[in-house]
Structure 1
Amino acid sequence: MTQTTDHGSSGSRQAPDALRRRFPKYSDLAPLMQFKKPELGQAARLRRANTIWELRAMAKRRTPKAPFDYTDGAAEAEITLGRARRAFLDIEFRPGILRDVSSIDLTTPILGKDSRLPVGIAPTGFTRMMQSEGEYAGSQAAQSAGIPYTLSTMGTASIEDVAKAAPHGRNWFQLYLWTDRERSMELIERAARAGNDTLMVTVDTAVAGARLRDVRNGMTIPPALTLKTVLDASYRPAWWFNFLTHEPLAFASLSRYSGTVAELINSMFDPTLTYADLDWLRETWKGKLVVKGIQTVEDARKVVDHGADGIILSNHGGRQLDRAPIPFHLLPDVKAALAADSSDAAVILDTGIMGGADIIAALAMGADFTLVGRAYLYGLMAGGRAGVDRTLEILETDMRRTMALLGVSKISELTPDHVHLL
């Protein structure tokens, strides 16, 4: 009988040539020995930031505690801010496959004009206190990105100076109606003369929210040079050098003011506002009018009935009433109510957005547009104009990637079916 060899036995196995050990040759090692030249400086650090959270970490290192906390904080226990951010975490995307997503178009119509991206810069107060380039950096970055920029009544650059800084940008103006209607009228006329096509009236500040970080930090406008702030300055000399060597803080609509933020708000804003004031504003302003601070379905319908061209679902970034409704949660009901009324009013959303995927989720759930405030300020504090540019680059990259992975190539293709609320 012929004896056969069991080639499957372990004793007869031989390792493939590729798995036999050998001493490496220099020619094998050379392609692997490519040491990257170290990149130093602010520009390199900004390039390495891939998320808004990383920009926030940079901002915290570069900015004194009081202005950083003014940006980063919210009212009371900051419950609303935490919930707003969790709202975007507690979703599940529903991607489609086998779609041609070789070209992604993020162009979005908003209030009669196209925006290159479905996001604009929200109004922020005291912006040059966060970083000396302030509103100039924000408006110029928005102009470059082809998106709207909103100057706040509490901004630290004038309406006219922002128009000069970004003459080809789409500039909006945010208005707090004052007890002094003549001053309000003056602002409205200045905004119109400067070419602002949209007026955004904020209605959720009858009084100042209890922003406890500001209280603990002794936050004043301008920042006071106490022993505490001097010690803080020793760790962040660049911020203080810029602050002390540039024009002192001045406001878009106020004379120079000294005092706490809460004192300023409470002395300036009108707690007696009613829908009659909105009617007056609608008659007075000839451009697009949007109302910011809508937090119920009923108020959304009412302001549209009183002539608003758009509403902004917002709880002021959690900075006013803690435990306020979350705009992202409110969005479907507001959208349905306005659709039932056959209204074409724009529905804009802010609060809690920290990435491009958040923006895409909001659009899928029915928002026509979004605004970012903190995300923009983190970039500003991290690196001035270049930091704002990086913020918008990160958001755009996130949005393009999310759209492609969802299987959609245009904003108009997004539907609620793309998002499941967990």
Structure 2
Amino acid sequence: MTVYYKGFPQSTREEKLKMTNLLELPEKVKKIMPEGAYYYIASGAENEWTWRNNTQAFNHFQIVPRALTNMQDPQLDTTFMGMNLKTPVMICPIACHGIANAEAEIDTAKGAKAAGALFGMSTYCNKSVQDVQKAVGKSHRFMQLYLSKDWDFNKMVIEESEKAGFEGFYLTVDALVSGYREANIRTNFTYPVPLAFFQEWTGGKGEGQSVAQMYANSAQKIGPDDVRKIKELTDLPLIVKGVKCAEDAYKALGAGADGIEVSNHGGREVDGGPATIDVLPGIAREVRHAGRKVPIIFDGGVRRGSHVFKALALGADLVGIGRPFLYGLALGGAQGVQSVIEQLNKELLIDMQLTGCKTIEDVKHAKIDHFTYSADWGISSTSKSVMPPYPVTEDNQLKGEAADAVSGASEH
């Protein structure tokens, strides 16, 4: 169940996950993941206001249920940039999957393929693009670029990714330096396992470096010319990731980008910036004026199928997840990643049925309201994090055959 790399414990779990919702996963992960690694995934920058509000801000928008729609059996299949996907949920690129599972990006790619989802892989990956290709063969996957100051390195990443069957690229533009991540500082976190591209290029393993040190080796100056330069190096689609306003979207598209990703890096960079769901509608409206079709990926705080629904209805074509799939990877390997996507799919299908949306394209035209509520944030009252132990009395316990079939009190 656990192996060790120079004393760092790596999960080897491979199993489907049993869960009520994704919010249960962080506490489970703490039992098998070292504190520094857990908070590398789980925390945000500074006071974590943006990190928290990425999820809370979904409550600023409300799904309008529809009746008399004469519809059943909604379908999740969708197309994106020529790819036929089984779900609008995608795997966002995150560094160093090896802190979650010994199989790292290999298992993440397997889980995404099993779920029919697009897989995004980071430049700061533990497994090589060749390893992923051998493991999953043909599958839908994009490579994320953290630009290096060394353009020979950038060219190598692009060329190796193309050879290994990757179908497109993301350029991350909102992480020129590391945000002030206090949890990483308090736990003295450094990357505990080697990073594949660094091994291949310099012989350096990348391990032992802090997040800030890794970013210091990357380009701190990125502009439209860098987008143009990447487009000169590849004919594959390029998504500019880290857009938070329409002006920057125009810059990216004007420089030749094929699409954008509305993202604030999971609240890990600028604390005090807006939640991504709050800026998505305006950006989508601006860049799609006069019927122009601009592919838009969204990420930030997604924990529920209703969050996926809202993001699609407010302008996204695909909805990315980050932290939850890493929790699934740690708890269940490839099957855990698949389980996380399937949980969101399950919840999304219910919302589609109750709003009369047969297809994902229907969801993109669903009715969304925007009201301000005083109680802006809350989770299920039966979540283990807030639910007190249920009282056990002589009168409320099942007995006899009923007790053999089901417990009379919830586990807490």
TM-score of the superposed pair, with normalisation by structure 2: 0.82
State the AA in 1 paired with 2:147. Answer: L
Structure with greater helix percent = 1
Indicate whether 1:282 and 2:231 are aligned.
Answer: yes
Determine the C-alpha separation between the residues in 1 that align with 2:292 and 2:256: 11
Give the letter for the 2:349 counterpart: R
| Greater Cα offset, 75-84 or 89-98 | 89-98
Residue 364 of structure 1 corresponds to which residue in structure 2? 313
The alpha-carbon deviation at position 258 of structure 1 amounts to 3.8
Contact 1:56 1:379 in 2 (8 A): no
Aligned residue pairs, count: 355
Q: Letter of the 1:126 partner, please give it.
A: C
- Output the CA distance in 1 between the equivalents of 2:58 and 2:85: 23
Change in CA separation of 1:274 and 1:67 when aligned onto 2, cut-off 3 Å = same
Q: Give the one of 298, 308, 311 matched to 2:247.
A: 298
8 Å CA contact 1:152, 1:252 repeated in 2: no
Q: Is the 8 A contact 1:187 1:253 kept in 2?
A: no
Q: Does 1:312 align with 2:264?
A: no
Equivalent residue letter for 1:249: P
Pick the aligned partner of 1:192 from 151, 162, 184. 162
Go from structure 1 to structure 2 and tell me whether the alpha carbon gap of 1:43 and 1:199 turns closer, same or farther (over 3 Å shift): closer
Is 2:90 the partner of 1:120? yes
**SS of residue matched to 1:114:** strand
1:257 alignment partner, SS class: coil
Per the alignment, residue 245 of structure 1 pairs with none
Deviation at 1:419, TM superposition (A): 1.7
Aligned to 2:119: 149
Structure 2 residue 348 is matched with structure 1 residue 399: yes
The aligned residue for residue 17 of structure 2 is: 46
User: Which deviates further from its counterpart, 312-321 or 111-120?
Assistant: 111-120
* Matching residue within 101, 105, 108 for 2:78: 108
Alignment-derived partner of residue 214 in structure 1: 184
Question: In the TM superposition, what are the counterparts of 1:25-36 in structure 2 within 5 Å?
Answer: none
Letter in 1 for 2:17: L
Q: Deviations over 1:351-374 (max 9, x none)?
A: 110111100110011111111111
**Equivalents in 2 of 1:206, 1:134: separation in Å?**
25
CA shift, 1:44, in A, is 8.8
SS of the residue corresponding to residue 221 of structure 1 reads: coil
Q: The residue matched to 1:61 in structure 2 has which SS?
A: coil
Q: Secondary structure at the match of 1:323?
A: coil
Amino acid at match of 1:359: V
5+ long unaligned stretches in structure 2 = 1-12, 372-412
Shift, 1:338, TM fit = 1.1
SS in 1 for 2:288: helix
Residue matched to 2:58: 88
How many Å apart are 1:342 and its aligned residue?
A: 4.8
Counterpart of 1:74 in structure 2 is: 44
SS at match of 1:259: coil
Equivalent position amino acid for 1:288 in 2: P
Which one of 133, 138, 142 corresponds to residue 108 of structure 2?
Answer: 138
Distance 1:251 1:323 in 2: 34
Query: 1:175-254, aligned counterparts within 5 Å?
Result: 175-222=145-192, 249-254=194-199
1:123 Cα deviation from its structure 2 partner: 0.5
How many angstroms does 1:64 deviate by?
1.3
State the partner residue of 2:331. 382
Q: CA deviation at 1:417?
A: 5.1
1:46 maps to a residue whose letter is L
Which whole-Å deviations, capped at 9, do the CAs of 1:271-301 have from their partners, x for residues lacking one? 1222111111112111111010111110011
Corresponding residue of 2:374: none
| Aligned residue identity for 2:195 | A
Question: Which amino acid counterpart does residue 185 of structure 2 have in structure 1?
Answer: V
Greater mean deviation of Cα atoms: 253-262 or 102-111: 253-262
C-alpha contact 2:142 2:168 (8 A) present in aligned 1: yes
Aligned letter for 2:58?
A: F
Change beyond 3 A, Cα 1:135–1:209: same
SS in 1 for 2:175: coil
8 Å CA contact 2:190–2:211 kept in 1: the answer is: no
* Cα distance in 1 for residues equivalent to 2:319 and 2:162: 23
Aligned 8 A contact 1:143 1:168 in 2? no
Q: Give the deviation of 1:415 after TM superposition.
A: 4.5
- The match for 1:174 is 144
| Matched letter for residue 285 of structure 1 | T
CA deviation digits over 1:190-235, x for unaligned, max 9? 011111111111011111111110000010121xxxxxxxxxxxxx
Change (3 A) 1:175 1:45: closer
Report the secondary structure of 2:225's partner residue. Answer: helix
The CA deviation at 1:160 is 1.0
Q: What corresponds to 1:230 in structure 2? A: none
Match of 2:280 in 1: 331
SS, match of residue 46 in structure 1: coil
Check whether the contact 1:83–1:326 (CA below 8 A) recurs between aligned residues. yes
**1:103 CA displacement:** 1.5
Residue type at the aligned position of 1:414: V
Residue of structure 2 equivalent to 1:229: none
Secondary structure of the structure 1 residue equivalent to 2:369? strand
The 10-residue stretch of structure 1 (334-343 or 175-184) with the greater mean CA deviation from structure 2: 334-343
Q: Aligned partners of 1:89, 1:58: CA distance in 2, in Å?
A: 26
Contact 1:52 1:355 in 2 (8 A): yes
The answer to whether the Cα contact below 8 Å between 1:92 and 1:419 also exists between their aligned partners in 2 is: yes
Does the 8 Å CA contact 1:308/1:345 hold for their aligned counterparts? no
SS of structure 1 residue aligned to 2:256:
coil
CA contact (8 A) 1:348 1:369 kept: yes
Runs of 5+ unmatched residues, structure 1 = 1-41, 223-247
Q: Any idea what the Cα deviations from partners look like across 1:286-333, whole Å, max 9, x if unmatched? A: 111101011111001111111111100000000011112322111111
Distance in 1, Cα, partners of 2:261 & 2:198: 22
